[in-house]
Amino acid sequence: MQEMELSTNYLDGLNDIQRQAVTTLDGPVMVIAGPGSGKTRVLTFRIAHLLKSGVPPYQILALTFTNKAAREMKERIEKVAGSDAYKVWAGTFHSIFARILRREAHRIGYPNDFSIYDTADSKSLIKGILKSLSLNVKEYNVGAVLSRISSSKSNLITPKLYAANEEFLEHDKMNRRPMLYKIYEMYVQKCKRAGAMDFDDLLLQTFKLLYTNPEGVRDRYQRQFQYLLVDEFQDTNFLQYEILKLFTIYQDSPRNLCIVGDDAQSIYSFRGATIENILQFEHDFPTLQTFKLEQNYRSTSHIVQAANEVISYNKRQIQKKIWTSREDGNKIKLIKTMTDNEEGKRVADLIIEQKNRYSLSNNQIAILYRTNAQSRVFEEHLRRYNIPYRIYGGLSFYQRKEVKDVIAYLRMAVNSKDDEALKRIINYPKRGIGQTTVNKITEVADANELSIWQCLSQIEFSSAAKKKLVDFVSIIRACQDKAAKEDAYKAAVYIVKRSGITELLKAENSIEADNRMDNINALLDGIQQFTEDDVLDDGEDIDNQERTLSNFLQTISLMTDADQDEENPDTVTLLSVHSAKGLEYKSVFVVGCEENLFPSYMSLSSPDQLDEERRLFYVAITRAEEILTLTYANSRYQYGNMRFNDPSRFLEEINDENIEATITGGRKSFAEPKILGNFKKMTPSKMKQLAVDPKDFKPSKKSDIKVGQRILHMKFGEGLVKSIDERSVATISFDALKGSPDKRIMLDYARLQILDEE
């Protein structure tokens, strides 16, 4: 199919480079989309153009990172291409692959109605394994163990490969977790036995399915998906990219793969995302055509210029220059305060001022921080001023106890081998089945490599215990029978009543019980809406037979924070920078812009990690449309101690002409045009010369640092220790900062290398 022009007017609203990206349909295409450059428009119009060009919707696969993004995409496509938009395979990696596995899982040894374990299920399973191996939970931290397993799966490292890797085993021994390989092995076995997959398995098992190609399944899907599109490609991990290659590189694939992303916004390495995917994409697809969307439609000129300056300090990147036709607007406000408490008050004051001066509503304002722990001080001052706010990414509706209890019954009705669901409800409501009984059944199940459900009728108990177990089995079988015959809503109503939860909550007769019952009713309302919808969230047409509990459970299992509805839309939003990507606000406060906080102290020893911190700062400032405020405090309490801070190096990378600076202290306030002193006057080349190669830097012990010593700092270079007070705060005169005030650095957190003795 050659590039073509259509007479329809949906292409008229695109600029030249956007139009090229939309209409170049064949072969590998990379769209580098800067912040606010119309990425979503290009992606949706490209799909619409495929449909308008005669490509059947079922031949298009579009992968996103939230279900919300997929839904919005389809809504936009529908306006151009009609109802065919909802027949496109569009959804998150996890939801699309779960949809494929629902059809094909039996080919790799799983039931098609497999359960999907969330993080709580996985942690519960790991706790049980630790107990069975008599391992110390403090040494084998459940979260750390799960993270290690997740990372292994994301890098295609099976338990067998893990156990054979001396480097991994040595790493675990050094971290006092020598049995981690065994935990990983047992975790995988128990999931398989329970007919369950965790989120990582939805990717890993899809890879296994396509790679092993049982009965030509890979060939079939490769023929079906003639056009693949991936949003936010810079956020993909190794495994996701390998799956994409299986779709596009094997045999006679036309390689019609379009990726859309921005290497400058790659900020999720802690989740396994690798910037290498987008940086090396051209090596895997040599015939690649690249389009750079560089016009920013979101932000004013001062914000765009600052973003360009900051990101220019990263060496490994796809070069681009973001620009805007918007006017300069307000300069970036830089606020220095003496304490973090004062920082919170100053931000609250400015929010009130901005609302009055610019007629902003609460939901047009956001406070972004590097760590979630920073929210406390801002919450306190917003409450004092009666400014409504919400914490983005709070407790999900589906994580509430009563909702999870009901969902566990629903899961058992679909998949009786689901051990984690069974353990949650076997004695809820209480029916006299104690933990000792559950432990005994679990031991027998493990010994015989069976699910707990399969063992319930195979163990001899006292007649009383036997009757209780028989009653429980009877309840679950009745629920299974109903789930097999009815749609999701009718089955769920029956199951809630049959479980005894409704009766229990009514008997409590309390406000808390009433609230829990309201949540259960809200869940049932959601299931009813699900049964009445014409399409599933991933866009698949469904008929009455497919509005099943299995499909409903899959839908809610794969929801992300971004998919949750806002209960009160007119609120100031507080959120971490990681959670802010993809969002935009009229006014943005980026707070805590200090060394060791933003950038994080953990990133300072690694150039790659420091580059990612800079990309994170880039994401933060480009969330702002019109007003951007950057704040930092001279001191703040962290881990129970007062800590003195330097301003973030990222502030120093913004040109003076884009900044309006203010310093506050008590009730005084005065302008400080050169707030960062002589250090800020340095050219980028001089600043980079100050940096010390981490490979050559060897920090000394805090106890060895004395007054009068010459020391080396990774950022400021060489200096002289002039004094050390009782709080271990050193006053240091740095050679490169002559004419500037001496730096006060807390030795508990500083990394200094002694160059000579006292």
**Active site positions, annotated:** 39-40, 231-232, 265, 623
Q: Identify residue 192 by its one-letter amino acid code.
A: K
d(CA 371, CA 381): 18
The residues, ordered by sequence, that sit 6+ positions from 614 with a Cβ below 8 Å of its Cβ are 310, 311, 313, 314, 599, 650
Q: Which DSSP helix (H) or strand (E) runs through 60? A: strand 60-64
Q: CA-CA distances (angstroms) from residue 20 to 31, 34, 41, 281, 325? A: 10, 16, 13, 20, 20
Tokens of 346: 């100053």
Residue carrying the six token digits 């965790």: 198
With b meaning 16 or more CB within 10 Å and e meaning fewer, what string describes 47-82? Answer: bbbbbbeebebebbbbbbbbbbbbbebbebbeebbe
Rg of the Cα atoms in the chain: 29
d(CA 722, CA 706): 9
Residue carrying the six token digits 């949906």: 10
Q: What is the dihedral of CA 638, 642, 647, 650, to 10 degrees?
A: -10
The residues, ordered by sequence, that sit 6+ positions from 375 with a Cβ below 8 Å of its Cβ are 367, 369, 391, 574
Smallest CA-to-CA distance from 629 within 296, 261, 378, 386 is with: 378
| Residue 416 CB coordination number (10 Å) | 24
Report cis status (omega within 30 of 0) of the bond before 28: no
d(CA 55, CA 74): 16
Angle of helix 199-212 relative to helix 238-248, nearest 10 degrees, comes to 30
The residues, ordered by sequence, that sit 6+ positions from 435 with a Cβ below 8 Å of its Cβ are none
d(CA 174, CA 164): 17
